[in-house]
Chains A and B, each alone.
Chain A
């Protein structure tokens, strides 16, 4: 069974641009959640999607958005990039049964650098 797949692996953007990251969950998993990881703030929850609906949301500005497709694949978008958005963005999938953040399976992440 394939794991969680994130693309691209690395990304370099400049301030003001926007970026879209992609995540394919484990087959059969209906929940996809996104996290931001930085040396200063550690790992922080962004949002979670289940059956194409945002079910839970962390404390990030509206520039961070996401969506989920009918095949459970998810995309995350960051608009008007700022230098502080440089981070490792991780996607995790779970069956969706139970609470949002239990039994998570993480991808390897997308390393975003904003110049």
Chain B
């Protein structure tokens, strides 16, 4: 999977700090959103999802916020750890099952 993320924006965060990764989605009709984590050489891994009737959802160390007014999605990772280093991207699903993936953000953890 080395072809992934060669030209992605990078977010550098100090280990232990909180990370906030942002995503602008394209379709106001999208009603389901997902965050994925992709480590080098691996396929995307589901992190957390949220439906359009919610504006916040929490998981273990992660929180997703949805702002439908400005079509914005964010992923917050608390107490970032070295194992969080990866490419993160959002995905939106429209009612007819069409899925659109964001381009991704590389999260780099500083020691």
Residue in A86, A99, A103, A107 whose CB lies within 8 Å of B43? A107
Q: Which residues of B are interface residues toward A (Cβ below 8 A)? A: 1-7, 32, 34, 41-46, 49, 89, 91, 93, 97-99, 101-104
Minimum C-beta distance from B59 to chain A (A): 14
Residue in A4, A40, A90, A101 whose CB lies within 8 Å of B97? A101
Contact A108 B102 (CB under 8 A): no
| Mask: chain A, 48-63; 1 = CB below 8 Å from B; 0 = not | 0000000010000000
Contact A45 B43 (CB under 8 A): no
Contact B1 A109 (CB under 8 A): yes
The docked-state distance in angstroms from the alpha carbon of A104 to that of B49 is: 11
- Compute the total of residue contacts between A and B using a CB distance below 8 Å: 62
The docked-state distance in angstroms from the alpha carbon of A92 to that of B46 is: 11
Apart from the given pairs A99-B32, A102-B93, A108-B41, 17 other A-B contacts in the complex at a CB distance below 8 Å: A37-B1, A39-B3, A39-B5, A40-B7, A42-B101, A42-B104, A43-B44, A43-B91, A56-B97, A86-B3, A90-B43, A99-B93, A100-B97, A101-B91, A104-B44, A108-B42, A111-B1
Minimum C-beta distance from B103 to chain A (A): 5
Known: A39-B7, A43-B89, A100-B97. A105 touches B103 (CB 8 A): no
22 of the cross-chain contacts (CB-CB < 8 Å) are A4-B43, A37-B1, A37-B3, A38-B3, A39-B3, A39-B7, A40-B7, A42-B101, A42-B104, A43-B89, A44-B101, A88-B1, A88-B3, A99-B93, A101-B91, A101-B97, A102-B32, A105-B46, A106-B43, A106-B45, A108-B1, A108-B43
Q: Which label, helix, strand, loop or mixed, suits the secondary structure of the B interface?
A: loop
Give the number of chain A interface residues (Cβ < 8 Å): 27
Q: Which residues from B are CB-within-8-Å of A103? A: 46
Q: Which residues of A are interface residues toward B (Cβ below 8 A)? A: 4, 37-40, 42-45, 56, 86-88, 90, 92, 99-109, 111
